[in-house]
Every structure is written in C-alpha cells, then in structure tokens.
Amino acid sequence: MIHRRAKQVDPDEQLVRRIRDGDAGAFSAIVDRHGAGLYRVALAMCGNGADAEVLVQDSFVAAFEGVAAFAGKAMLRTWLTRILMNLAAQHRRRENVRKAARLGAVSEPAARQAEGGKDFEIDFHEALNSLEEPFREVVVLRELMGMSYDEIGEALQIAAGTVESRLFRGRQKLKELLADYLPPDDVLRSRRSEQ
Amino acid sequence: MNDCAKYLRRISAFHDGELPPDAERELREHLAGCESCRLELERLAALSELIRSKTSEWSTPAFRWPADGRAVRRNVIIRFAVKWSAAAAAILVVCLVRLVLLNGAETEPLQAWERVAVLGRSAIMPPIAQADRGELETAMLLVGDTLNGEENSSYE
C-alpha cells in the first residue's frame, strides 16, 4: 500500500481561491483569522482603540475590493499588513495635522505626569510614538506579529538588511524608554545562571 | 576594532533567529567569552518578552464580516460616490466664485500706448476718449500709423 503524504495547503491560499471562484463569504474566514493580529498592530501604531478598529475595518474593506488583484506572491497576512500600514501612515499624518492645530492643549503624558501615574500601556504607546515611523513599524511587526525579516521587508517594501538595522536601532531606543519595566542587569545575570 | 561593537548590531538579528549560519556560529563563539554581549542578549530577550506578554493581554474586538459581502461592496460604492461628489461640488463652488468675482471686477482703462499696440488687431477696442487723442496721435506717428488706419509715410 502506498502512503502519500498530503501536501500542506495554506488555508489563506484556499480562502483566496474560494473568493476568486465567487464565494464572497470566504472573506469572513479571512477576517476571523487575521482580525485580532491586525488590530493589535493598528493599536500599537495609533494608540487608540477606536481608531485602530476603524483602521482594521478599512483595511479589510480595501483588501476585499482588491483581493481579485492579489497576485499571491506574498503571504496574505503580509499583504493585509501592508494595506494596514499604509492606512496607519495616512492616519498618522492626519493626526499630526490635527495635533499641530491644538497648540494650547495639555498633552496626555504631561497631564498624567502631573498625577504621578504609571501604566505600561500608556508608557508603551508613548515610547512607540517617540520612535521615528520607520523604526516603530519594524518593531511593531516583529514584536507583535512575530513576522520574519523577509515578511516585514515585503510588507514595508524595504530590504531585509534594512529591517535588521532599523530593528536594532528601534530596540535600543525602546530599551532605554521602557527601562523601568525591564528587570535590572543583576536579575538578568542570575536568571541566565539558573538556566 | 572593538569586537563587541562589531557584534552588537548582530545580537538583535541573532535574538530573532535571522542570522545566516556562518554569522551565527561566529557570534555564538563570541558570546561564549563575552559577558557584556551576553547581557545585551538577555536585555533584548526581556524587552521582547515584556512587549509580547503585555500586548497579548489587549482585548480585541470581534470583527464581523457580512456573509455575502454585498453590503460591504454597497458601502464602498456609496463612500466612493460621496467622496467624489463632495470633491466635484467643491470644484464647482470654487469655479462659480471665481467667475462671479471676475465678472464683478472693474477693468482698468487702457493706456494710450497699449491701445496703439492692439489697434487694428481687435475689433472690440473701447472708443478713444478725446482727452487721450493728442497723446495717441503722437504715439501713432512714431509707429507710422494714423487713427483712420492710413499708413503714415512721412518718416520713410
């Protein structure tokens, strides 16, 4: 008896094929598979749950409209992420214009400092916001999505070597900014010796 | 060259498992004898762990997609139509305002020399005021023309 190993088929690939064959309902499975991951990236990029939700919805709508043109060279997740990152960049530009118009307003971090509060989520968003956009993008895609350098390069249209150097610099900055939340060096040393 | 400076940039890629095999082997050898680089690797690991553990707690909303996608397509078309209608309306308003402003503006009377320059090329020139006539005649004599359209040859 001959045993044939079934060829592993990417579920995303199957879903895209179904959509191309006219099964528009298959898109809801794509939304279920990628919604949460994209939302976390959107939230990290814009720091606001309501805006993140709109960004993800808009990304899915754009993907739905363009799925027929999706060549399938990149992974579906990478393609969806690229759409999301483009929309997030547009959103950020609009926000910057809006913030520039609010000159007299007290900034959120300043208001919180006055209260003496400390919250990882706020500090994390603040730290991410202080990174320049190219560094923030690679850090978010690596740390939150666990994407490979090639995937990140594909999503952001940059070389894998550029991903490596941006990630290095982004992490160096982030390490300084989140130092209060990281274990001190002697704890890290002792942790390693235990291993 | 300081070895650590050379390896520091690679530690991030090593942490992600993205170094090519040769570079990875070389870095492993360096790490075995370098306390500060090992510590740097631990710091990166702690940073990644912190971010992943905290962000995995973020609650995510449930994204629902209509079963046949028709409603989404309809919304997309409506949004597209609204966006471009608004743009077309804005352009129309700008054009209308400009038209009204241009029609309402008073035109400056032409100088005598300007009339000389265009005389004979335009059938809709405004009539020449008596006050300008002397000045105009002088100017036309200089260019070899008369107000009646006869050529002045006295300077030939």
Q: Is the pLDDT of residue B153 over 50?
A: no
Do the chains contact at B46 and A178, CB–CB below 8 Å?
A: no
Do the chains contact at B66 and A185, CB–CB below 8 Å?
A: no
Q: What is the pLDDT of residue A164?
A: 95
Same domain, A174 and A129: yes
Q: What is the pLDDT of residue A156?
A: 94
Q: What is the pLDDT of residue A1?
A: 44
The total number of structural domains in chain A stands at 2
Same domain, A141 and A63: no
Establish if A157 belongs to a structural domain: yes
Do the chains contact at B65 and A39, CB–CB below 8 Å?
A: no
Range of the domain at A18: 10-102
Give the domain-ending residue among A102, A129, A164.
Answer: A102
The model's confidence at residue B130, banded by pLDDT at 50, 70 and 90, is low
How buried is B119 (Cβ within 10 angstroms: 0-12 exposed, 13-18 middle, 19+ buried)?
Answer: middle
How many angstroms separate the CA atoms of A55 and A46, rounded? 9
**Which tokens sit at B151?**
């050529």
Q: What is the pLDDT of residue B49?
A: 93
Establish if A194 belongs to a structural domain: no
Specify the residue for token string 């290095």: A168
With an 8 Å Cβ cutoff, is B48 touching chain A? Answer: yes
Q: Is the pLDDT of residue B140 over 60?
A: yes
3-state secondary structure A21-87: CCCCCHHHHHHHHHHHHHHHHHHHHHCCHHHHHHHHHHHHHHHHHHHHHCCCCCCHHHHHHHHHHHH
Same domain, A56 and A98: yes
Establish if A188 belongs to a structural domain: no
User: Residue A90, by phi and psi: left (phi above 0), alpha (psi -120 to 50) or beta?
Assistant: alpha
In chain A, count of helices (H) and strands (E)?
A: 10, 0
The CATH number given to whatever domain includes residue A78 is 1.10.1740.10
Same domain, A81 and A16: yes
Check residues A47 and B156 and name the one with the higher pLDDT.
Answer: A47
Same domain, A127 and A91: no
pLDDT in tens, chain A (195 residues): 445 555 567 788 888 888 888 787 788 888 889 999 999 999 999 888 899 999 999 999 899 888 877 877 788 899 999 999 999 999 988 888 877 776 555 445 444 544 445 688 889 999 998 999 999 999 999 999 999 999 999 999 999 999 999 999 999 999 999 999 999 888 888 776 666
Same domain, A125 and A66: no
User: Nearest CA to CA, how far is B26 from chain A (Å)?
Assistant: 18
Same domain, A61 and A122: no
- Reported as a single tens digit per residue, the pLDDT across B98-124 is 888 877 666 667 677 777 666 655 555
> B42: which chain A residues are within 8 Å (Cβ-Cβ)?
188-189, 191-192
How many angstroms separate the CA atoms of A130 and A103, rounded? 18
Establish if A160 belongs to a structural domain: yes
Substitution target in A23, A118, A120, A140 with the highest count of B β-carbons within 10 Å is A120
Q: How many CB pairs under 8 A join A and B?
A: 100
User: What's the complex ipTM?
Assistant: 0.79
User: Residue B120, by phi and psi: left (phi above 0), alpha (psi -120 to 50) or beta?
Assistant: left
Q: Which residue on chain B is closest to A119 by alpha carbon?
A: B54
Establish if A46 belongs to a structural domain: yes
Give the domain-ending residue among A52, A74, A102.
Answer: A102
Establish if A1 belongs to a structural domain: no
How many angstroms separate the CA atoms of A31 and A58, rounded? 12
Do the chains contact at A27 and B65, CB–CB below 8 Å?
A: yes
Give the domain-ending residue among A102, A133, A151.
Answer: A102
Return the bridge partners of B145, or none: B151
The model's confidence at residue B29, banded by pLDDT at 50, 70 and 90, is very high
What three-state secondary structure class fits A182? Answer: coil
The minimal CB distance from A31 to the residues B38, B47, B65 is found for B65
- Reported as a single tens digit per residue, the pLDDT across A173-186 is 999 999 999 998 88
Which of these, B72, B7, B69, lies nearest to B44 by C-alpha position?
B7
- Reported as a single tens digit per residue, the pLDDT across B37-76 is 999 999 999 999 999 988 887 877 777 776 656 666 666 6
Same domain, A32 and A58: yes
The CATH number given to whatever domain includes residue A141 is 1.10.10.10
Same domain, A14 and A98: yes
How buried is B34 (Cβ within 10 angstroms: 0-12 exposed, 13-18 middle, 19+ buried)?
Answer: middle
Question: Mean pLDDT, chain B, as a whole number?
Answer: 77
Q: What is the pLDDT of residue B156?
A: 40
Same domain, A128 and A87: no
- Reported as a single tens digit per residue, the pLDDT across B78-88 is 777 787 888 88
